[in-house]
Amino acid sequence: MADDRRLKRYADMIKRALGEIIEFKLKDPNKGFITITGSKISADLKIASVYYTVLGDNEQRETTKMILNKSRAFLRSELKPFIKSRWLPEIRFFYDESQDEADKINKLLKQIENDYTSKEE
């Protein structure tokens, strides 16, 4: 149980640090507006799965994905001062689709509400 809390703290530390690094130190003008939404760390602390969203369309998502993957070595080196561990985890980026799913559900609910109110009239 204490090990799970340690992993969660470590993942949260990586999430916060990468958010700052991407915002302030990653200088690529095409990166878009990136938000780090979460991170998970493997039990051996060697792989960090980092989840992000980006403001924009599918083209912007692909551009951001390419930039993040291309910048992994830089981001990992910038992460070193934030991490108090013997080794740095390998960083893997994944687009967080939960916001997209929430938007789809909200649109469907709004459509149902509109259909319902139009039938009442």
pLDDT in tens, the chain (121 residues): 458 898 999 999 999 999 999 999 999 999 989 999 999 999 998 999 999 999 888 899 999 999 999 999 999 999 999 888 888 899 999 999 888 788 888 888 888 888 877 777 6
What secondary structure letter does DSSP report for 63?
Answer: H
Q: State residue 118's pLDDT score.
A: 75
What CATH number should be reported for the domain holding residue 16?
3.30.300.20
Domain count of the fold of the chain: 1
What secondary structure letter does DSSP report for 89?
Answer: P
Q: State residue 1's pLDDT score.
A: 43
**Residue-number span of the structural domain to which 24 is assigned:** 2-120
Q: State residue 121's pLDDT score.
A: 63
**Number of alpha carbons in the 13 Å side-chain half-sphere of residue 51:** 11
Chain centre to alpha carbon of residue 60 = 15
CA distances for 120 relative to 26, 69, 108, 115, 117, angstroms: 54, 52, 18, 9, 5
Identify the CA nearest to 12 among candidates 31, 38, 51: 38
